[in-house]
Amino acid sequence: MSIYQIQNQKIVSVREKDFSKEKEMHELIEANLGELFGLELIDGEFEIEGYFIDSLAYDPEVKSFVILEYKKGSNFSVVDQGLHYLSLMLNHKANFVLAYITKTNKKVVLSDFDWSQVRVIFVAKSFTQYQQGATNFKDFPIELWEFARYENGLLDVRQIQTSKKAESVTKIIKDNQTSEVVSQVKTYTVEEHFKKDWDSSKELYEDLRVKLLSIDNNLVEDPKKHYIGFKIGRLNVIGVHIHKMGLSMILPRVQPIDLKDPEKRVTYVKDSFKHYGKHESCYVIIEEEDVDYAVFLAKQVYTKFIQNN
């Protein structure tokens, strides 16, 4: 992708400025981990069993750990390394919890974390087709993020998007470590949020989904354990909880007073700031007519936190 700067109605190519060392990328990302990925840094160069993890982070959205690995080149296997890091995490949970306690000074135990949603993020200038294909395994929780620096302090940061529809990674790698990781870690799909006879909510969701994704081409559907998110980059714009007869749409970072809501149908999620560190509001969708009003509300959150920033 070429990046240009507009100067007096003329476009001027902005040259890429490579990181001279992997450490440069490492330090820049760690200093901006919240803005880039919505994560909290726990430790850099975290040592476990003689291995050094570039960055150990925590995802407060899903209460799980994230390992970040930075690569200056492209000669590495995301499958082998990703599986190894996930195995280290799952077999040494106490070490990771201790690191969290040391960093935050909070009193927590193993069960306070969701170990089924741990994941590995690889960051590099670019990835090969094979590496990109490796993220498509349906039960392999790794993410690839391309990170390029340009002149004039410009950055291009983007996630490689995949459908997660390939077969299980255990079909390719047949060993105990891989089976152990797959048995404990879970990547979720939209379909798993619907039970067999939930036709009403499924129709409502399909209608809502199409209209939400039309707000911005960069919005992506991001199913998690308890909800389906719609995010741009690291920021979750809205979340949708599925019920038998309808949907509840979560509007993060806002209170009802922050929204134009002429029908007064938005409610505040009690204790949301206490539990999640941010305010959340909720809108319930029961009828087809409710979908357009939901999109009207979602656009306000999008405008407030995405379009105007």
* Tokens found for residue 230: 């719609």
Choose between 182 and 289: higher pLDDT.
289
Pick the last residue of a domain from 184, 202, 221.
Answer: 184
25 and 174 inside one domain: yes
- Domain finish residue from 184, 206, 224: 184
Residues 168 and 144 in one domain: yes
Query: Are 68 and 28 contained in the same domain?
Result: yes
**Which residue segment(s) compose the domain that 243 sits in?**
191-307
Q: How much is the pLDDT for 233?
A: 78
Q: What is the pLDDT of residues 246-304, one digit of tens each?
A: 999 999 999 999 999 999 999 999 988 877 778 899 999 999 999 999 999 999 999 98
Asked whether residue 166 falls in the same domain as residue 297, the answer is no
Residues 176 and 198 in one domain: no
When pLDDT is cut at 50, 70 and 90, the band that residue 165 belongs to is: low
Same domain? For 179 and 199 the reply is: no
Average pLDDT over all residues of the chain: 87
Question: What CATH number has the domain bearing residue 125?
Answer: 3.40.1350.10
**Which of 158, 184, 210 is the endpoint of a domain?**
184
Question: Do residues 87 and 18 both lie within one domain?
Answer: yes
Decide which of 82 and 259 is more confident: 259
Confidence band for 173, pLDDT divided at 50, 70 and 90: low
What does the buried/exposed string (b/e) look like for 51-68 if buried means 16 or more CB atoms within 10 Å of the residue's CB?
eebbbbbbbebbebbbbb
* Pair 169, 197 in one domain: no
Both 145 and 23 in one domain: the answer is: yes
Residues 57 and 161 placed together within one structural domain of the fold: yes
How many domains are there within the chain? 2
Q: What is the CATH number of the domain that holds 259?
A: 3.90.1150
Query: Does 293 share its domain with 200?
Result: yes
Mean pLDDT, to the nearest integer, of 91-111? Answer: 93
pLDDT of 309: 56
- DSSP-derived pairing of the beta strands 40-48 and 51-59: antiparallel
Looking at the structure, do residues 222 and 143 belong to the same domain, yes or no? no
